[in-house]
Every structure is written in structure tokens, then in C-alpha cells.
């Protein structure tokens, strides 16, 4: 089965609403990362968050290892937040590969 | 602009043809990764280089792809005989040794017809 599950698969919100994206994993991990994938395909790193809570502007990432979950919260969403958000786990320290979820496609309506 | 450069951005090949795409990792990064992403699917790990040596790769790469990093500033991923199922976005990523700070390129979008 898939080691990283993201939910919801898609989310449509009105501008100004908050967004909550979830990532659940079924295996042990060394780190959890969140990326934003631009429409053209390139990835932008949002958070490297092996555990705990991290903030960056309107974004907050929380990883709870013992519950095997991570979340990305976007407050006061803007139309420019629209796109695909990916979570990825790294199973061991510097083991190289990231295991990605299928992503959450976020659409923010004006 | 991404610090990892990938070329070309788009590639169209006929079935049976050979394809090659290149990646210039971020300066100073010693680890290079290739991922494949098919339409609306998750990124799939293909191969991982550390200091130009391949350390991990999936069976498909061993069987049908050719991947090398002839220098610390250039890597390439090739497909010996393209198949329709190879149509995908190929993303290259690099990171410093001992560090999980990954930088991704903009990708090469391959279409096999």
C-alpha cells in the first residue's frame, strides 16, 4: 500500500478562508517535508519539519511522529495559494530518496 | 529561478527512439536525484547519486534507462527505447551531503508518441 497518503485530494475555498491539508504515513520516517508544485511542474520547498510545529508567514506545518501524521495549515488563503501541495517523507537520515504523497490540489476562488 | 537547471524543458519522441535529458545540480551539492511524475500521480523515485556514484535505483532504471553523472556539475538521464508509458515529467533534485535540503529543477516534460 501507499506509504504516504494525502487528504483531501482536492480542496476548493473562498479567498480568506483557512485551508488544512493532511498527510498520513504508514512507515517510520526521519523527516517530513512539504512542497508546493507550480503549474509548470517545479517544486518549491515550504517546510522541512521532522517533528513539532513550524511557521512561515501564513503557513504552519505540524508533524506528530507517534501519530504518523503531518499537516499544513494555510491561514487567510489567497488566490495565489492555488496549486498542488505535496508532502514527502525521508525514511532514514540522508537515505536519499523522498517518498511523496499524491498531493492536494488547492483552488482558491476570488 | 531554480538553482537546479534541467534541459530541455520539453521533449517529444517517437516510440522506439532514444531520449536524453540533462540536469545541472546546485553548486556544491553532492547528491542528485531523479523522479518521474505521470499525469496527476505522485512523484516516483528513479535513481540517486552521491558524489557522482549511483547508490540506489529502481529496477526500471536498471533495465531501460541510462543515468550518469560524469561530473559534479552535470548529470543525465536517458531512455534507451522510449515507450508510451514513459511520457511524464522528469524532475531532478540535488542536496548537500548530509543535509535534507532538497532543491528541485523545473523538469523535463517528455511526450512519447
Q: What tens digit of pLDDT does each residue of B70-99 get?
A: 998 999 999 999 999 999 999 999 998 767
CA B6 – CA B106 distance, rounded (Å):
6
Rounded to an integer, the average pLDDT of B6-29 is 96
CA A47 – CA B100 distance, rounded (Å):
11
Q: Name the pLDDT band for B2 (thresholds 50, 70, 90).
A: low
Structure confidence at residue A7 (pLDDT): 96
Structure confidence at residue B99 (pLDDT): 72
Under the phi-then-psi rule, with left for phi > 0, alpha for psi from -120 to 50, and beta for the rest, what region is B40? left
Rounded to an integer, the average pLDDT of A74-101 is 87
φ, ψ (nearest 5 deg) of residue A80: -70, -10
Q: Cell numbers for B82, please give them.
A: 522510449
Structure confidence at residue A96 (pLDDT): 66
Q: How far is B40 from chain A (nearest CA, A)?
A: 8
Rounded to an integer, the average pLDDT of A59-71 is 93
Burial class (CB in 10 A: 0-12, 13-18, 19+), B39: exposed
Burial class (CB in 10 A: 0-12, 13-18, 19+), A87: buried
Structure confidence at residue A61 (pLDDT): 97
Most B CBs within 10 A among A32, A98, A105, hence the mutation to make, goes to A98
Residues of A (6-35) whose Cβ lies below 8 Å from B: 30-31, 33, 35
Cβ of B33 and A102 within 8 Å? no
Determine contact: B70 vs chain A, CB below 8 A.
no
Q: How far is B65 from chain A (nearest CA, A)?
A: 18
Cβ of A94 and B97 within 8 Å? yes
Structure confidence at residue A31 (pLDDT): 81
Distance of alpha carbon B34 from its chain centroid, rounded?
A: 4
Measure CB to CB from residue A96 to each of B43, B56, B91 and give the nearest one.
B56
Kindly report the number of other CB atoms within 10 A of residue A47's CB atom: 20
Is the pLDDT confidence value at A25 over 70?
yes
Measure CB to CB from residue B98 to each of A40, A94, A103 and give the nearest one.
A94
User: Residues of B with CB below 8 A from A94's CB?
Assistant: 31, 97-100
- Name A57's Cβ contacts closer than 8 Å, sequence gap at least 6: none
DSSP symbol at B61: H
Mean pLDDT computed over every residue of chain A: 90
Q: Name the pLDDT band for A32 (thresholds 50, 70, 90).
A: confident
Pair type for strands B88-95 and B108-112: antiparallel
User: Residues of B with CB below 8 A from A32's CB?
Assistant: none
Q: Cell numbers for B42, please give them.
A: 505522485
In A, minimum Cα distance to B99 occurs at A94
Structure confidence at residue B97 (pLDDT): 77
Measure CB to CB from residue B104 to each of A30, A43, A96 and give the nearest one.
A43
Pair type for strands B19-24 and B74-79: antiparallel
pLDDT tens digits, B34-74: 999 998 789 999 999 999 999 989 999 999 999 999 998 99
Determine contact: A100 vs chain B, CB below 8 A.
yes
Structure confidence at residue A90 (pLDDT): 83
Determine contact: B11 vs chain A, CB below 8 A.
no
Amino acid at each position: 500500500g501507499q506509504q504516504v497518503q494525502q487528504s483531501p485530494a482536492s480542496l476548493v475555498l473562498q479567498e480568506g478562508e483557512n485551508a488544512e491539508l493532511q498527510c498520513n504515513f504508514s512507515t517510520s520516517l526521519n523527516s517530513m517535508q512539504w512542497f508546493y508544485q507550480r503549474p509548470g511542474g517545479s517544486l518549491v520547498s515550504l517546510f522541512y519539519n521532522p517533528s513539532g510545529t513550524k511557521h512561515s508567514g501564513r503557513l504552519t506545518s505540524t508533524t506528530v511522529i507517534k501519530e504518523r501524521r503531518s499537516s499544513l495549515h494555510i491561514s487567510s488563503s489567497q488566490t495565489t495559494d492555488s496549486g498542488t501541495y505535496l508532502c514527502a517523507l525521508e525514511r532514514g537520515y540522508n537515505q536519499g530518496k523522498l517518498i511523496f504523497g499524491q498531493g492536494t490540489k488547492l483552488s482558491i476562488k476570488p | 529561478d531554480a538553482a537546479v537547471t534541467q534541459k530541455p524543458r520539453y521533449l517529444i519522441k517517437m516510440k522506439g527512439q532514444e531520449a536524453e535529458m540533462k540536469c545541472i545540480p546546485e553548486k556544491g551539492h553532492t547528491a542528485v536525484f531523479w523522479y518521474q511524475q505521470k499525469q496527476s500521480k505522485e512523484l516516483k523515485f528513479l535513481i540517486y547519486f552521491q558524489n557522482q556514484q549511483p547508490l540506489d535505483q529502481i529496477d526500471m532504471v536498471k533495465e531501460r534507462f541510462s543515468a550518469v553523472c560524469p561530473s559534479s556539475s552535470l548529470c543525465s538521464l536517458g531512455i534507451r527505447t522510449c515507450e508510451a508509458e514513459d511520457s511524464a515529467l522528469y524532475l531532478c533534485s540535488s542536496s548537500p551531503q548530509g543535509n535534507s535540503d532538497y532543491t528541485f529543477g523545473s523538469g523535463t516534460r517528455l511526450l512519447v508518441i
